[in-house]
Structure 1
Amino acid sequence: MSERPEKPRVGLFVTCLVDAIRPRIGFAAIRLLEEAGCTVEVPETQTCCGQPAWNSGDSRHALALARQVIQACEPFDYLVLPSGSCAGMIRHYADGLADDPAWAARARALGERTFEITSFLVDVMGWRPEGRSLRATATYHDSCAGLRELGVFVQPRKLLASVAGLEMRKLEGSEVCCGFGGTFCVKYPAISNAIVEEKAERIEATGADLLLAGDLGCLMNMAGKLSRRGSTVRVFHTIEVLAGMADGPAIGEEG
């Protein structure tokens, strides 16, 4: 990858779930990226990354979406997402397009410039939030795709350590799946429910006020289970806290 521009032009891939369910995560992303010194644009022609279709075996439609995303997002210096799952899918485009060398090359070039947002802020921009404070205790869940595909582990914790007054508590099995798994929770609801039940028990055992993570699908799944258990734990995307936006309704509290 070439040397980072002084003021990078960043394309923000909002993701379907954020757009439909929790737009404030998108606004939090814009706030943080601009504070870090980036020029941020949201490509108007972006749609789904294609992961649900790909995971369901519908490679034809998934690769059609991949080509659309590549065309919409390749003009930017970087493509940044508030989701390790979707970022991981975009990095896999070149594998799916291997039979089409021209598109595979374009996909590979975009994949090399695609980052989950906390990884981008720490690893590329070397940025830390300033002037943030939140008097609360929190625990952190490591979403599968971000952790295993992209190596996102230290980065969110480094950023959260800069929030004055925020006490982080260790979550036992933080790296264990929450049971969402995209279409997994639809195909295997009983198994998914058993997994998230155990996850909720471990979250509550920390005694934390807040649960944080980096993928909205995981957060929705855990928030739903915690709510059904009558838990008082409030659930936020990590970047909502980093952007100073944890004073609004938590995930699952809207409406």
Structure 2
Amino acid sequence: MNVELFIPCFIDQLYPDTAFNTVKLLQKAGCEVGYNPNQTCCGQPAYNAGFWDEAKKIGLKFLSDFSDDCYIVSPSASCTGMIKNGYDDLFTNSIEHNRCRSVQSNIYELSDFLVNVLKKDYFGAELVGTAVYHDSCSALRECKIKDEPRQLLGQVGGLEILPMRDQETCCGFGGTFAVKFEGISAAMAEQKVQHAMTVKADYIISTDSSCLLQLQAYIDKHQLPIKTKHIADVLTAGWANI
């Protein structure tokens, strides 16, 4: 199966290893992965800030950078949710309407694609320890992803997934929210990390690097004995030992 890879700005600039692990994971799943190096942003920051004209310009570039007849896979529910939902506001009843609908129907967040399209959940990963899974707002509410990441993580050797309090509560990032409302944002991150530590988790795992950056910042500031990991990094963990 041929797929096109969409790597969001956050991962491109801050977590490139997650991007490479996504490629490895898709290849192991039997996909031929294509990557257009001209791709940039999906337009979400401008859209969320209310600059819809600017967001539409970026969105037009996105629509031209990707095929409308091929699966598009991204290791980010946030950006996938923007395209699936935010683009309705930008392109409905426009000249790009039909192309937009085709791209929207073809783009998938990574865990959603692996489980629901490829029908695969075991990749030989090994990560010894305990973890909690953080439902990002975009994954849960925009992409309707809940069971898929847990199904994948349940197949990781040595890893125990623990329930925690307020499982589906926001981490406090929310893009510009973290800047405009720093105090509230920091308190929400503290709450999420403390809930994970209460159940003695070694890791906090999520589909979204933006959430993980928010939580890791709190962890680093307070030098806490817990780490964050993107699900793509977990599903490729331990491969060198196999």
In 1: Cα distance, 2:126 partner to 2:93 partner: 50
- Deviation digits for residues 210-244 of structure 1, max 9, x if unmatched? 11111011000001112222211011101101011
What SS class does the counterpart of residue 96 from structure 1 fall into?
Answer: helix
Amino acid at match of 1:88: G
Match of 1:225 in 2: 218
Question: Structure 2, unaligned stretches of length 5 or more?
Answer: none
What SS class does the counterpart of residue 135 from structure 1 fall into?
Answer: strand
4+ residue runs of structure 1 moved beyond 6 angstroms?
Answer: none
2:159 to 166, 185, 205: 166
Deviation at 1:81, TM superposition (A): 0.7
Amino acid at match of 2:80: A
Distance 1:89 1:211, change over 3 A: same
Distance 1:209 1:66, change over 3 A: same
1:44-63 residue pairs with structure 2 within 5 A?
A: 44-63=37-56
**Overall identity of the aligned pairs, in %:** 36
Amino acid at match of 1:82: P
In 2: Cα distance, 1:130 partner to 1:103 partner: 38
Question: Structure 1, unaligned stretches of length 5 or more?
Answer: 1-6, 248-255
**Is 2:15 the counterpart of 1:25?**
no
Length-normalised TM-score, structure 1: 0.90
Contact 2:39 2:65 in 1 (8 A): yes
Match of 1:96 in 2: 90
The farther-off stretch of 47-56 and 227-236 is: 227-236
- Deviation digits for residues 135-178 of structure 1, max 9, x if unmatched? 11111100000110111110011111111111111121111000
Equivalenced residue count is 239
In 1: Cα distance, 2:201 partner to 2:216 partner: 14
What SS class does the counterpart of residue 44 from structure 1 fall into?
Answer: coil
Match of 1:194 in 2: 187
1:238 to 226, 231, 235: 231
- CA RMSD in angstroms comes to 1.5
**Is 2:133 the counterpart of 1:140?**
yes
Contact 1:10 1:76 in 2 (8 A): no
Amino acid at match of 1:89: M
Length-normalised TM-score, structure 2: 0.95
Higher relative contact order, chain-length normalized (CA < 8 Å, sep 6+): 2
Deviation at 1:35, TM superposition (A): 1.2
